[in-house]
Copies of this chain bind each other. A is one copy, B any other.
Amino acid sequence: MTPARSRRPGAPTRTERGIPEATVARLPVYLRALTALSDSGIATASSEDLATAAGVNSAKLRKDLSYLGSYGTRGVGYDVEYLRYQIAREIGVTQDWAVVIVGIGNLGHALANYSGFGTRGFRIVALLDAAPELVGERIGDMVVRDFAELEEIVAADRVSIGVITTPAGPAQEVCDRLVAAGVTSILNFAPVVLSVPAGVDIRKVDLSIELQILAYHEQRKSGEAALPEVPELPAMNGVVTDLPSVGGGVGA
């Protein structure tokens, strides 16, 4: 066996300007840290300073930044404004991205009022819901529009990012409509696994899952003596029979 490998074992596969996914996920954190430093009037920061502000260790931060290029100065550190611009450009937030939010329930309301969007390269161009009683409602300086207008809005405003804040039930259908209308990136808050065609990016935010991960670790902490080994095959009746389906709560 052992087919001849033509590549060296530890090669990081950094083809051209391909930035590792783990690094991409941290760039926005660095961007925020840099903005905070800038607001404090700090003009230069070392990798140690930045790493502390971003909550990572300095070696990781330096390696992450090295994928973008050599923007620091040895013996000195990084120019805060310059690095901030370079990261913003790499992420793509130097331009504005049009966003639609679908599902104006509690969470949709909260996002519509979230001021962090407009100031960071994202512009909410429409709030959509299929419920007639919601259409027309004013939220901030926007008005809820009918979901049927989706295609028209996406085409007119060149929307490429959609946010789904509906309940689980209609989420897949909404997703399909978004994709068909031309949206190629989706942020999903509905507690359901969405399927999308290749070429469409999807990210999921799930409050319930986050809490469950915390619970797992919490259980570990409280009493190592917990987790009694369970017999092979008990009746398995009863116990958690009350969990209703995944539907629930967030949307209209």
Contacts and interface: CB of A to CB of B under 8 A. Distances in A.
A99 interface: yes
Interface stretch (A103-111, A129-137, A142-150): A103-111
Interface in A23-67: 24-25, 27-29, 31-33, 35-36, 39, 43, 53-55
User: Most chain-B CB neighbours within 10 Å: which of A18, A91, A195?
Assistant: A91
A250 interface: yes
Interface band, chain A: 35 or more
Contacts of A81: 236, 250, 252
Contacts of A27: 212, 216
A69 B216 contact: no
Contact of A119 (B31, B54, B213, B243): B243
Given A230-B86, A248-B115, A240 B94 contact: yes
Interface in A161-215: 161, 184-187, 191, 193, 195, 198-199, 201, 203, 205-215
A217 B193 contact: no
Given A32-B191, A203-B213, A240-B17, A218 B184 contact: yes
Nearest to A229: B198
A221 interface: yes
A6 interface: no
B55 A195 contact: yes
Nearest to A217: B201
Contacts of A195: 55
8 contacts: A39-B245, A82-B252, A91-B215, A92-B215, A116-B250, A161-B214, A199-B221, A205-B207
6 pairs of A and B residues whose beta carbons are closest in the complex: A92-B219, A115-B249, A106-B110, A55-B193, A15-B237, A28-B212
Given A91-B212, A109-B109, A161-B218, 4 more contacts: A28-B209, A88-B240, A106-B110, A119-B243
